[in-house]
Amino acid sequence: MSSTNPPPPEHDDDLEKPVFSMRDLAFELEVTAAILRTLEIDQILYVVLSGVTSGEGLGFNRGLFMLVDYGQRALRTSMAIGPVHKADAHRIWEDMKAKELTLGALLTAYDKVKDDPTAHELTHHLGHLTIGMNELEQLAAQAVPVDATGTVPIQAMVARCLLAGEPMFSNTVQLACEESEDPFVFKNWGMVPLATPEHAVGVLVVDNAFSERVITIRENQLLIALANLTAIAVENGRLFARMRALAEVDGLTGVANRRTYDVSVQRMLTEARQTGRTLSLVIIDVDHFKQFNDRHGHLAGDDVLRVVASTLASNARKSDLVARYGGEEFAVLLPGTTLEQAAIVARKLVRAVEDAGDMPHGNVTISAGVACSLAGNLDATQLFEEADRAVYRAKHAGRNRVECAVVAS
């Protein structure tokens, strides 16, 4: 493979400006309306990809979204729709024809397909396609490596599209994805950047690898319009996700807040009733906290709460929910956990807080009370009262210990 410039992708200036039909405008309007109905990023991506690959939409064989993950400083595959192989293309087309799926039906089918593994085969196939931000800059600065067949790495073109902020498409140059599970080539492709005035958001890639239908300037212009809308929608979705996360987290300690606890315990009790499983609750109270505040001040008390919360969160299981219930009181929800198992977890948490080495003004201890609802036989108030009474007994038994409430079935 040599490092030369491949035949250049077509640009908008090379061709006459398209004239959009009423069908084009109706398509854009229908997709826009579907996007505006949600703030969930995955649903936004699904709507756009369904639109560009639907026969009633733009009719591309496949569509791929790569979004910038600024936390991981990388551009990564977020969602892809379409067949992996040519045999899959015919099967999918026949299936859609048999079901008589219209564009409107596709755009509103997200809840039905989001948990369907077959709907995510292409996403899984391209899941390893990730480009670090530093690598993107290097790729954009280098000559494009092209082989004898006129095929270039997709990473090289994605880097140029994202960083230059310019759409491109080609009916001659092929794009190879070396990170896929087997050789994967994009043919007759289009690529448009997603960006806001502040920063790059990602890239939308489409192709006609199986039908080999040429991509027109009109289709590229429609893709640009969709990409601009998608960029704004994705950023709004990210902002909504951040705001939702903040609304669910206690501002002082970083664990779940009381509202999140209230919602979670109701949901978990409902699941326990439906499945016949147990739900245990550990209520934790910081020992002698009022005296600590009086002696060392409220700022030092805040530091204690932060360390206790961090210690509880790092020692709880992944399936558990740690929440600040109020003041110096914490709650830990343990789904699918018996009273005896929850007591073991509670003792581990008590020891972990006692051994925490970064407490201000010396070690701090906690007392814990454990209660269990069998198949949801208790409501949230009853479960809490049982655990709270157990904490009271732990306090009066000397603190820095665990007491259990036996809940009648």
Catalytic residue numbers read 328
Position of tokens 């505006």?
36
CB atoms within 10 A of CB 10: 20
Q: In sequence order, what are the beta bridge partners of 63? A: 81, 206
Q: What is the DSSP letter of 14?
A: G
Position of tokens 């009271």?
392
H-helix segments, 195-338: 217-248, 258-275, 289-296, 298-315
Candidates 329, 339, 401, 336; CA nearest to 367 is 401
H-helix segments, 142-195: 154-164
3-state SS class at 84: coil
- Cβ atoms of residues 316 and 310 within 8 Å: no
Rounded to whole angstroms, the Cα distance separating 236 from 35 reads: 11
Q: In sequence order, what are the beta bridge partners of 324? A: 330
Q: What is the DSSP string of 318-339?
A: TT-EEEEEETTEEEEEEET--H
The encoded tokens of residue 151 equal: 């095929």
Helix (H) or strand (E) run with residue 43 in it? helix 41-53
3-state SS class at 350: helix
- Cβ atoms of residues 250 and 324 within 8 Å: yes
Position of tokens 């601009």?
228
CB atoms within 10 A of CB 20: 14
